[in-house]
Amino acid sequence: MRALQLIAWQHEPEFREVSEPEPRAGEVLVRVGGAGACHSDLHLINDFSSGMLPFEPPFTLGHENAGWIEAVGDGVRGVDVGQPVAIYGPWGCGRCRRCQMGMENYCERQAEIGVMGGGLGLDGGMAPYMVTPSARYLVPLQALDPVDAAPLTDAGLTPYHAVKRSLPLLVPGTAAVVIGVGGLGHMAVQLLRELTPAAIVAVDQRPEALYLATDAGAARGVAMGPEAAAHVLDATKGRGADVVLDFVGTNETMALAARVARQLSHVTIVGLAGGTLPFSFFSIGYEAAVATTYWGTLPELHEVLALAEAGRIKAEIATFPLARALDAYRALREGKVNGRAVIVP
């Protein structure tokens, strides 16, 4: 079968002919129905070199996947061939305390394992088939099509986790700011709308992203630029934001986040653009807490999928056949994807 592989760091991915995988004991083979093209793949392709991550190329890209169970290895029970499933993406050891709580995104033994998931050291979903090392990563789908479910496993789950940790702050009369309305950000707006009464302010440099945000429930869209902080403050009646979610992570977006975060707020940096935020006594409101987050938990994936199955959230998608996966990454790099690009093998 043909698979889109990262074959070397800082090198454009290439299609390679690889053998169709067979599930070994305990593993499950999934026929891929959709694989999201994520901004973090661009960082993975361009920004890393040997030794920076615990794993090395080659491997098949695609860490945001859903499909149908095709075959199971020895000893796998309780799953049905043909069942549509979403695939939980961060793969830990499964045995440490965090993993046993469903937080494989924060596995205590990740460094020792050496890989982080399918598409992150192991073969991912940019191919007709992929293997998952355990049935525990598969969440059954009901009415959701795998093409629509795939983006929920990262573009949905990652902002869900970021919003959920700040829910106690987002009571009536508060404001949440979403910086970067791409694949993750447009889901963040929907999740804030569904889970909280906070007024939502969205910031992006692309007008079409701001339309997407206001369509999804943002009270106001603000153009990224020198005036952005003033406009956000204006939109929040001068008070600033109780929660800021930065899905970009450049120096510029983090500086904006710090400017608009009010006292006692949460500033959560999700985007991997590699910026830094100077931190000093007077650089941010008193008792504002700054955190990064990585992905989400397995129980949270069930919650995200439940919201989607109920029709309450939906990823805006643009589909590309596998043969055009490089076009999808190009469009993503050029800021031309509205919502999420999903590869359909």
For residue 99, state whether it binds Zn ion (rule: CB under 5 A): yes
For residue 38, state whether it binds Zn ion (rule: CB under 5 A): yes
For residue 183, state whether it binds Zn ion (rule: CB under 5 A): no
Angle made by CA atoms 342, 221, 223, in degrees to the nearest 5:
90
For Zn ion, the closer CB: 21 or 183 = 183
Rounded to the nearest whole angstrom, what is the least distance from the CB of residue 39 to Zn ion in the complex?
7
For residue 4, state whether it binds Zn ion (rule: CB under 5 A): no
Site residues for Zn ion, 281-340, by CB under 5 A, read: none
Site residues for Zn ion, 146-165, by CB under 5 A, read: 154
**92, 124, 125, 159: residue in contact with Zn ion (rule CB under 5 A):** 92
For Zn ion, the closer CB: 270 or 284 = 270
- φ, ψ of residue 340 to 5 degrees: the values are -120, 135
Site residues for Zn ion, 198-257, by CB under 5 A, read: none
Would you say 34 and 65 are in contact if contact means Cβ atoms under 8 Å apart?
Answer: yes
Give dist(CA 64, CA 322) in Å, integer: 14
Rounded to the nearest whole angstrom, what is the least distance from the CB of residue 251 to Zn ion in the complex?
22
Q: Which residue has the tokens 């499964």?
A: 94
Q: Any residues with CB less than 8 A from the CB of 79 and at least 6 apart, and which?
A: 28, 69, 72, 135, 138
Stretch that binds Zn ion, among 33-41, 172-180, 281-289, 314-322 (CB under 5 A): 33-41
For Zn ion, the closer CB: 21 or 92 = 92
For residue 107, state whether it binds Zn ion (rule: CB under 5 A): yes
**Binding track over 110-149 against Zn ion, x by CB under 5 A:** ----------------------------------------
For Zn ion, the closer CB: 136 or 206 = 136
For residue 180, state whether it binds Zn ion (rule: CB under 5 A): no
Rounded to the nearest whole angstrom, what is the least distance from the CB of residue 135 to Zn ion in the complex?
17
Could you list the residues that contact Zn ion (CB under 5 A)? Answer: 38, 40, 92-93, 96, 99, 107, 109, 154
